Amino acid sequence: MNASNPPGLRDRKKAATRQAISNIATRLFVERGFENVSVAEIARAAAVARKTVFNYFPRKEDLVFDREEEVLELVRQALAQRGRQAPVHAFQALVRALVESQHPLLRITERPVQFWRAVAESPALTTRAQELQVTLADDLAGMLSDAVGRPRTDPAGRLAAAMLMGTLVVAYGEALAAFRENRKPMKALVGVLERGFTGVNVALAGTPYV
Amino acid sequence: MNASNPPGLRDRKKAATRQAISNIATRLFVERGFENVSVAEIARAAAVARKTVFNYFPRKEDLVFDREEEVLELVRQALAQRGRQAPVHAFQALVRALVESQHPLLRITERPVQFWRAVAESPALTTRAQELQVTLADDLAGMLSDAVGRPRTDPAGRLAAAMLMGTLVVAYGEALAAFRENRKPMKALVGVLERGFTGVNVALAGTPYV
DNA sequence: TAAAAATATTACACTCAGTATAAGATTTGT
DNA sequence: ACAAATCTTATACTGAGTGTAATATTTTTA
């Protein structure tokens, strides 16, 4: 639970171990598929106890998805620095900015295409991805509600978050499809995005969210 | 893969076994919670082999959620009989009709409230419910696209489906919350619903879906 | 109605994810 | 250098889900 300060030896070793496990796991998954690699095998390859793997990654799927916190941080920042802008608009502005600045999270290249193909081929990973979408929508709903000083259970906030995340997921999926079919991924992405955003703005009209 | 005809003895026995397993499982889950009942125990209580339980319900969670087909059938029917109405509007009309006719699927009573509380208390069931939401959104997207003669991957259809399902889930959740707080569940439900529907209609404006 | 074909149930053995616990090793603060 | 805190490990366990082949039951055919 440390924060700043020079990271001690312990923390550096932990980071190294975590990274090593993650790297080896990724390599094995790419080579042979998620379902065909056991945690025991990963532990062996990383020269570490099986339990240690679970210490760092409570579920096997977490070896693949470990950028949740990064995403949340981006949203937090955007909402904190939004000035007088409505929170939903601030979120939309964030997404547009990430697209235009070619941020790694939304940039479409061969890498993410292969990554998401692998996810699609694994039932466990697909399920986990869906779980993540819902978790993110939930967190987003909480942040939006906080921003307008309403209870975190406010249905309007939930509705906004669900629609925004839904839009984002569909848009990103379409961008991946476009890439595979040699169409312009970013154009496809923005097309869906603006459609969805327009809808959200109307749905939330009359509320402080927008 | 039989369809009509008088159901033979075999089919009747199968239906009976399935129902018996499901009933006993439900009882045990209610008594002691989903995670605290093993499939082995269910099998024993139902006087059946463990493997037989898995024959009928591939995953343990399927013992709880087994109304997917029923929902899909409702949507199929509504879209088939929609006449010249746009598919998204037909879907919205279906939902409104279910609400007004107090259809069991959307009626809020003590039963569903307890059911969904139990789901919320179980990580495995929560995950499965999310999975179902995504599956339903996917099927809905396919049906909407079919209805307007576009490929099942059409992003507009996907967007419509994602937003509609998102709206439905948030609205239903809010209705459950309203029930617990002694507010009018149906009023809460319809409130969120109409908000979401308005947004969807705008998002999809200019497309044949609406 | 009796045998043959089809299908359902069962027993058995197995893999693997995830948890619990306590002992041993390493880092950190004094 | 010592003690406290924390990380790793060995070991053993529970429970979900799969594969397979033997057995029982229903349906079909003759």
Nearest residue by alpha-carbon distance to C1' of D11 = A51
Chain B residues with at least one Cβ partner in A under 8 Å? 127, 130-131, 133-134, 153, 155-156, 158-159, 162-163, 165-167, 169-171, 173-174, 177, 188, 191-192, 195-196, 198-204
- Consecutive sets of 10 residues in chain B, 210 residues long: mean pLDDT of each? 60 94 96 96 97 98 94 97 97 98 96 94 95 95 98 98 98 98 97 98 97
d(C-alpha B7, C-alpha B14), whole Å: 11
All domains of chain A in start order, with CATH: 9-63 (1.10.10.60), 68-203 (1.10.357.10)
Q: Grade residue A10 by pLDDT with cuts at 50, 70 and 90.
A: confident
Mean pLDDT of A152-169: 98
Q: B151 Cβ partners below 8 Å, 6+ apart?
A: B145
d(C-alpha A80, C-alpha B150), whole Å: 42
pLDDT digits (tens, 9 = 90+) for A32-42: 999 999 999 99
Closest C-alpha among A160, A166, A175 to residue A207: A160
What does the block give as tokens for B119? 């789901």
pLDDT of residue B6: 66
d(C-alpha A155, C-alpha B35), whole Å: 30
- The residue with greater pLDDT, A176 or A66, is A176
Whether A146 and B142 have beta carbons less than 8 Å apart is answered as: no
pLDDT of residue B2: 37
Q: HSE-up of B169 (CA within 13 Å, CB side)?
A: 25
d(C-alpha A25, C-alpha B26), whole Å: 39
Q: Grade residue A7 by pLDDT with cuts at 50, 70 and 90.
A: confident
pLDDT of residue B164: 98
Q: Please, what is the Cα angle at B130 between B125 and B136, to 5 degrees?
A: 120
d(C-alpha A187, C-alpha B65), whole Å: 39
pLDDT of residue B73: 96
Q: Could you tell me how many residues make up chain A?
A: 210
pLDDT of residue A2: 39
pLDDT of residue A5: 63
- Burial code (b: 16+ CB inside 10 Å, e: under 16) for A69-99 equals eeeeebbeebbeebeeebbbbbbbebbeebb
H helices of chain B, where? 9-32, 39-45, 50-56, 68-80, 87-100, 110-121, 123-147, 155-180, 185-203
pLDDT of residue A6: 67
Q: Scanning every residue of chain A, which has its alpha carbon at the shortest distance from the alpha carbon of B176? A: A155
Chain A residues with at least one Cβ partner in B under 8 Å? 127, 130-131, 133-134, 153, 155-156, 158-159, 162-163, 165-167, 169-171, 173-174, 177, 188, 191-192, 195-196, 198-204
**Is the Cβ pair A134, B130 closer than 8 Å?**
yes
**Is the Cβ pair B203, A191 closer than 8 Å?**
no
Whether B158 and A174 have beta carbons less than 8 Å apart is answered as: yes
What does the block give as tokens for A77? 């920042």
pLDDT of residue B7: 73
pLDDT digits (tens, 9 = 90+) for A53-111: 999 999 999 999 989 999 999 999 999 999 999 999 999 999 999 999 999 999 999 99
Q: Is the pLDDT of residue A149 over 60?
A: yes
Q: Is the pLDDT of residue A143 over 70?
A: yes
CA-CA distances (angstroms) from residue A129 to A39, A132, A183, B140? 19, 5, 25, 20
What proportion of chain A, given as a percentage, has pLDDT over 90? 94
pLDDT of residue A206: 96
Q: What is the DSSP string of B55-80?
A: HH-SSGGGGT---HHHHHHHHHHHHH
Closest C-alpha among B62, B55, B51, B54 to residue B124: B62
